[in-house]
């Protein structure tokens, strides 16, 4: 894996699902990004990685956190076609964007090589600047992952707060008024 202080290189995706257009890491700048690298025939991916990624997608604000699936096929190539993946995503109710990692010169896909992934499931967590802050291989505790994401979201620059409407209730040392 590359230096953890630099943004990850771009992914190389042949086809996207669950998104109207291709996604680039640059357009996700400013959000915490979770990348779930998986294979649909990987038991750990089906039992742990994908359900956890879907949970993150369903739980956190899409303004703060983006979840991207990366189908990184390095075995059983003939069985894991785009048509099979589309059916798999539908059956398992995966609703976050999923890209098919482009095949490389070997059996290992391009992005999997660029990111130095050892296998699946692999989960990468990037901060708002696109810098890798965590790389989990295998199963991860949902509580640990939630804490990592919440910590990154909390470090985001504060949003401007709307002024209080003077007609709303107010409180001081003597009590609250309506």
Domain contains 105: yes
Residue 4 lies in a domain: no
In a domain, 103, yes or no: yes
Whether residue 96 is contained in a domain is answered as: yes
For residue 124, list its beta bridge partners.
Answer: 35, 135
Query: What is the pLDDT at residue 116?
Result: 85
Query: Can you give the pLDDT at residue 149?
Result: 95
Domain assignment present for residue 3? The answer is no
User: Number of folded domains in the chain?
Assistant: 1
- The pLDDT of residue 89 is 96
What pLDDT, on a 0 to 100 scale, did the predictor assign at position 83?
92
pLDDT in tens, 44-89: 999 999 999 999 999 999 999 999 999 987 776 666 788 999 999 9
Whether 8 is covered by a domain: the verdict is: no
- pLDDT above 70: percentage of residues in the chain: 80
DSSP assignment of the chain equals: ---TTSBPPPP-EEEEESSSS---GGGGTTSEEEEEEE-TT-HHIIIIIHHHHHHHHHHS-TTTEEEEEEE---S-TTT--HHHHHHHHHHTT--S-EEEEPP-SSSS-HHHHHHT--SSSEEEEE-TTSBEEEEEES---HHHHHHHHHHHHHTSPPPPPPPPPTTS-EEETTEEE-
170: domain CATH number is 3.40.30.10
Domain span including residue 18: 13-177
């Amino acid at each position: 894996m590359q230096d953890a202080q630099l943004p990850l290189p771009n992914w190389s995706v042949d086809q996207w699902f669950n998104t109207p257009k291709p996604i680039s890491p640059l357009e996700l700048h400013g959000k915490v990004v979770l990348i779930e690298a998986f294979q649909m025939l990987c038991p750990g991916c089906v039992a742990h990685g994908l359900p956890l990624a879907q949970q993150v997608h369903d739980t956190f604000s899409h303004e703060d956190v983006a979840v991207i699936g990366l189908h990184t096929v390095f075995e059983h190539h003939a069985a894991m076609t785009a048509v099979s993946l589309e059916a798999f995503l539908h059956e398992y109710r995966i609703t976050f964007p999923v890209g098919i990692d482009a095949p490389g010169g070997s059996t290992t896909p391009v992005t999997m090589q660029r990111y130095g992934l050892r296998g699946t499931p692999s989960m990468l967590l990037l901060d708002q600047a696109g810098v890798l802050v965590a790389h989990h291989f295998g199963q991860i505790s949902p509580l640990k992952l939630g804490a990592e994401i919440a910590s990154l979201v909390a470090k985001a620059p504060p949003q401007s707060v709307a002024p209080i409407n003077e007609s709303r209730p107010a409180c001081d040392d003597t009590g609250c008024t309506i």
